Structure 1
Amino acid sequence: MREYAVVLCVAAIVSYFATPAVRWASIKLGAMTAVRDRDVHSIPIPRLGGVGVYIGMLAAMLVAHQLPGLQQTFVGSSETTAVIVAGGLICLLGALDDRFDLDPFTKLAGQIACAGVLVLMGVQLAFIFIPASDLGTVSLDPNTSFLLTTLITVAAVNAMNFIDGLDGLLTGVAIIAAIAFFIYSYQFSREGYGDVFSAPTLMTAVLAGACIGFLPHNFNPARIFLGDSGSMLIGLVLAAAAVSTTGHADPQSFSSAASAIPLFMPLLLPIAVLAIPLADMTLAVVRRARERRSPFSPDKMHLHHRLLEIGHTQRRAVLIMYFWSALLAFAGVGAAIGQGPLVLSISAALVVIAIILSVVPRARRRRRDGSKRPA
């Protein structure tokens, strides 16, 4: 655990001090977010923040390579190297979009290419456990593995991109998701399903640290945005961690659905951890399809926009989204590694609190409007 704490701190410190330089470069290069109708900021903001996050991650990975325990993650497999290379490529793709506003199809093609690099370098979903069926563990052929892993990665990349709409929102959600997945992956290894020093645990520790270092620059009022360089990088790393954790389990060690929970939880857990971004992306795609618009066409109907319409301030809307993300993420982790009934009871109580916090401004407004009506 000490080595993970070291790399997390290195990522945070380097990201924190690198971001001002990235902000300066972003201004010089003209990579600025213009003020649009759907945005909540009133002045142009630099948007190459993902480069600062990647620099922090890269520095932490270099330190990890020198530590006796974490060095095993580089020697034993190519997954860590795959994340460094594919992460760098998708960060570069995002940086080009931040500067030149690439069209959606060019960006999608680039995402698929970066996901392909990730898969070809070793991050692959080799098998799937299907509970409550006679199939049990299904081994995937190389073509199916490639397609499914690529699909998971591209979906995560775009889910992160869709939620990036308020100061500090995506950065905080990424920290929550990375910490939740780190806890699960670390516990997964400690219980005998892999080595404590593993690629997915390192990935998430480094990502959490880099985002922690970036958040002070990004929280409202933001001085720099993550941009596509950051949102796509975060999505790729989280997808890689999910797929890699699944690959570290031995399918022969599970004889029943109950004993195989650790095997299929790595695929279910990201749904809990990323429930808010995935729900937002799904609703946006359905909404735009009904209106016969491109799924990539922007609008002002995302979940965070609706919280603003209810009456929340930008900071309060972000904190509420943090609360929902943490609730779902850690409920999923708790269900996977703890006692289900206890986790369910606590989660149910917190859901009630989250709902109340979310709708309080609307209730106050209705009560105020009602009191103003003439008798």
Structure 2
Amino acid sequence: MPATIVWLLLCFIATAIGTWLSIRYALHRRLLDQPGARRSHQIATPRGGGIAIVATLLLASLFLLWSGTGPRTTFASFALGLLLVAGVGWWDDHQPLSPRLRLAVQGAAAALLAWGFHADGGSSWQALVAFSSVLVLVNVWNFMDGINGLAVSQAGLVALAFVGFAPDGWSWLALALVAACCGFLPFNFPHARIFLGDVGSGGLGFVLAALLASTAAADRLDWWLLFLPLAAFLVDAGFTLLCRILRGVKWWEPHVEHAYQRAAQANGHSRVTLGYGAFTLLGLTFTLLSRWAIMPYIPLLALALLGGGVFGWLRLRKGVRCFGKE
């Protein structure tokens, strides 16, 4: 394997160059997200820049597969699954697809990844974690990709947790994700020159799901601690989705009811992205501390963190109904 610094630099540079090229492509093809009542931006902005992150991670996974770093069948199924999720997202960025078709492709990718883990000796529980994590995180990252820098910075921070705990080649893939997010971030924050698009948000969710499934079965820490760095997105996306379902609205349609969207309307994109980053960094710190001698206090800290997240969600969404028909 290459030295860590070389690996990080290669992934960073590849993503930065790819993002620059994707801006030129999006402008040429007129792939623009227009502002509107259900959007959080004010000017037309190119989309689909996440293709650069996906391409970098595909190349990284193929190199790991070629070098024999990590389980071969799982890495092969991961690469194919990422191609499926990113491919349907790339198609949707060019020509909107039906939610059912996107979900069907995501389900196929989830099943492929689950099979890969099981074929390489993983338990049925690990395969189930892989399948369900893909369906959840791909859509969570899509729902939460609505303001400058939020989805990509959260993915980079969450990946840091997997760097220290993921087994075999998965830790190298986590490093590649961190570097790729850093390579994309200057183009997306504080002012967005391009958005991730469905290709990027779906791709990030898929990679994080694979890292979660690989690490949860590694017995290097209590599996539930892996959800602490994910808490900000899971709380906001999960509770907002539940509210929309309870109200009987079309929950899959674009909207501005997430806590981060309402906070951005009042405080601007940068403050909200940094605030979510600070919350996730706290969850990441608790996860890392679990490796040392403070184990008796970690469950209490985790409950406090989750309680704070739910309280913040309620405060930010004050005035938005969760019950009754529209």
Report whether the alignment pairs 1:80 with 2:80: no
Shift of 1:157: 1.0
The normalised TM-score by structure 2 is 0.84
Long gaps (5+) in structure 2: 317-326
Mapped contact 2:18–2:52 kept (Cα < 8 A): yes
Partner of 1:232 in structure 2?
202
Partner of residue 317, structure 1: 272
CA positional deviation for 1:338:
4.9
CA deviation after TM superposition for structure 1 residue 214, in Å:
0.5
Aligned in 2, Cα 1:156/1:123: closer, same or farther, shift over 3 Å? Answer: farther
Deviation at 1:316, TM superposition (A): 0.9
Shift of 1:63: 5.3
1:203 aligns with 2:158: no
User: Where do residues 271-286 of structure 1 align in structure 2 (5 Å cutoff)?
Assistant: 271-286=227-242
Aligned residues of 1:61 and 1:206 also touching (Cα < 8 A): no
| CA shift for structure 1 position 154 | 0.7
8 A Cα contact 1:157 1:235, kept in partner: yes
Indicate if the aligned counterparts of 2:126 and 2:217 stay in contact, CA closer than 8 A: no
1:1-375 equivalent positions in 2, closer than 5 A: 3-61=3-61, 64=64, 71-73=67-69, 76-122=71-117, 140=124, 146=127, 148-185=129-166, 198-249=168-219, 262=220, 265-266=222-223, 268-309=224-265, 311-340=266-295
Deviation string, structure 1 residues 190-233 (Cα, Å, up to 9, x no partner): xxxxxxxx132122111111111010111121011111111111
Measured in 2, the distance between the counterparts of 1:343 and 1:21 equals: 44
- 1:116-155, CA deviations, whole angstroms, 9 ceiling, x for partnerless residues? 222233367977xxxxxxxxxxx53xxx765553122111
Native 8 Å contact 1:124 1:149 kept in 2: no
For 2:128 and 2:296, locate their aligned partners in 1 and report how far apart those are by CA, in whole Å: 37
Q: CA separation of 1:176/1:338 partners in 2, compared to 1, >3 Å: closer, same or farther?
A: farther
Say if 2:74 and 2:119, in contact at 8 Å, map to a contact too.
no
* 1:40/1:166 contact within 8 Å kept: yes
| 1-structure distance, mates of 2:118, 2:40 | 37
Deviation (angstroms), 1:240: 0.7
CA contact (8 A) 2:39 2:255 kept: no
Counterpart amino acid of residue 295 in structure 1: W
Equivalent pair of 1:15/1:56 in contact (CA under 8 Å): yes
Aligned partner of 1:192 in structure 2 is none
In 2, the alpha carbon distance for the partners of 1:124 and 1:342 equals 38
Q: CA separation in 2, counterparts of 1:180 and 1:77?
A: 23
Distance 2:250 2:73 in 1: 37
Amino acid paired to 1:339: I
The Cα of 1:333 is off from its aligned counterpart by 2.7
Contact kept? 2:85, 2:106, Cα under 8 Å: yes
Number of matched residues? 316
CA distance in 2, matches of 1:216, 1:231: 17
Alpha-carbon spacing, 1:118–1:317, altered in 2? closer, same or farther (3 Å): same
Return closer, same or farther for 1:54/1:202 CA change in 2, 3 Å cut-off. same
Q: What is the percent sequence identity of the aligned residues?
A: 26
AA matched with 2:93: D
Structure of higher CA gyration radius: 1
Asked if the contact 1:47/1:227 (under 8 Å) is kept, the reply is: yes
Partner AA of 1:52 in structure 2: A
**Per-residue deviation at 1:80?**
2.4
Residues 341 and 119 (structure 1), Cα distance of their counterparts in 2 relative to 1, 3 Å cut: closer
- Which segment drifts farther, 294-303 or 156-165? 294-303
Separation in structure 1 between the aligned mates of residue 107 and residue 250 of structure 2, nearest angstrom: 18
| Cα shift at 1:342 | 7.0
For 1:49 and 1:338, how far apart are their aligned partners in 2?
42
Q: Hey, what's the Cα distance between the residues in 2 that align with 1:324 and 1:167?
A: 17
For residues 308 and 236 of structure 2, the distance between their equivalents in structure 1, rounded to whole angstroms, comes to: 21
Code of the residue aligned with 1:281 in structure 2: it is: A
Deviation readout 1:36-63 (Å, 9 max, x if unpaired): 2122212221111121111222344455
Give the conservation status (yes or no) of the 8 Å contact 1:27–1:46.
yes
Distance 2:163 2:41 in 1: 33
